[in-house]
Every structure is written in C-alpha cells, then in structure tokens.
Structure 1
Amino acid sequence: MATARQPFDDLITHLVRTSSLGPGEAARVVAEVVAYFSESAEEYVRRRHGEMKARGRTNEQIFPVIAAELAARPVAPPGLSLRQLRRIVYG
C-alpha cells in the first residue's frame, strides 16, 4: 500500500537535495514559509506595525512602508490606503 504524500513533500525533497538541510529541518523551513504567507493582510499589518513601533518608528514612517510591503507580496491583497491601514491597527 502506498503512503499518502504530504502537500509539500516535493519541495522538502528538493531542499534536502539542494541544501545542507536534513529532512526535519527542511520540513520546518517549509512550514514557516507557508505560515508566513498564510497570514491575512490584517494580521500582517498589525504584526509589522508592532515590530516597527517597537523600533521607535512613527506612524507617518510606518504606514507607507507597510503599504509598499503589502504591494510587493507574492499574493498581494487589494490596495489599502494609509487610512485603511490605520483603521486595521486602531479600529
């Protein structure tokens, strides 16, 4: 009986073959990348805002950066205005 394949087995196999990662490490890397790109736009905005605030940046510096980052993501959400980004963070 054949073993059921996991969704990212081919990618994990590729990483093991082309890098110094072992199977367990490659699986963790793939899981982290998938989780990162599974984050909703709202979750991303809140997380990045918190990270940049912790580094001492102002909202005037933060929101344009977040807007540019969202637009550059492989699966970009619809364009959000700076006002919409503020509403995500502050309600």
Structure 2
Amino acid sequence: MLERPASHDDLVDHLVRSTPLQRGEAVRVVLDVLAYFDETVEDFVRRRHRELRSAGLANAEIYDRIAAELPHRAVAPPELSLRQLRRMIYG
C-alpha cells in the first residue's frame, strides 16, 4: 500500500465517505493530486509541450496555449514570454 502523510488522513476519510472509492483508491487519488500540484512551472511547460506536440500541434500554437493555461494553475506563476517558454523546453 502507498505511504501517505498522516496530515491527509481526514481528506482520505472524506473521499471514502463521499465517493465510491475504497481507501486504497482514495489514497492514490490524494497522492496523485498532490503530485500534480507539486509540479514546477518548468515541468508543467515541458509536459504540456510534449503532450501538445504528440497531438500534432505546431510550436506557435503550443506556446500560445501554454501561456493561456499557466494563469489557471493552482499557484499561477508570473506571466512568461514566448522566449522564456522556449528556454524552459529547449534549455
């Protein structure tokens, strides 16, 4: 079974009570959500670039889409220029 911090037990308990999830499934959901929100801006930009490239989008459209998505992250980063986005992806 996956380890989880004790501080998330009441969230896991809430999910078990309020959804059809079993305890182990609820633990995995909580850990997945926490990992999602722990993603750095750079990791998010790289991941979205890979996903959108594999969907067949061109870089110009990808940069616009990523720039539009960033302000809606849980902790929105400062606005990034297209150059900054490219540097995150390609170094």
TM norm structure 1: 0.90
Hey, what does 1:26 align to over in structure 2? 26
2:47 aligned with 1:62, yes or no? no
Structure 1 or 2, whichever has the larger Rg, is 1
Q: Which moved more, 1:63-72 or 1:21-30?
A: 63-72
Aligned-pair distance for 1:7? 2.0
Output the amino acid matched with 1:13: D
Partner of 1:83: 83
CA-atom RMSD in angstroms: 1.1
Structure 1 stretches of 4+ with a deviation exceeding 4 A read none
Q: Choose 69-78 or 25-34, whichever is displaced more.
A: 69-78
Q: Which amino acid aligns with 1:15?
A: L
Report the equivalent of 2:9.
9
Matching residue of 1:47: 47
- Equivalent-residue separation in structure 2 for 1:21 and 1:59 (angstroms): 39
Give CA-to-partner distance per residue, 1:12-52, whole Å, 9 cap, x none.
11100100001100000000000011010000100110011
**Structure 2 gap ranges (5+):** none
The one-letter amino acid of 1:17's match is R
Residues matched between the structures, number: 87
Question: Which 10-residue stretch deviates more, 40-49 or 72-81?
Answer: 72-81
2:73 maps to: 73
TM-score of the aligned structures, taking structure 2 as reference length: 0.90
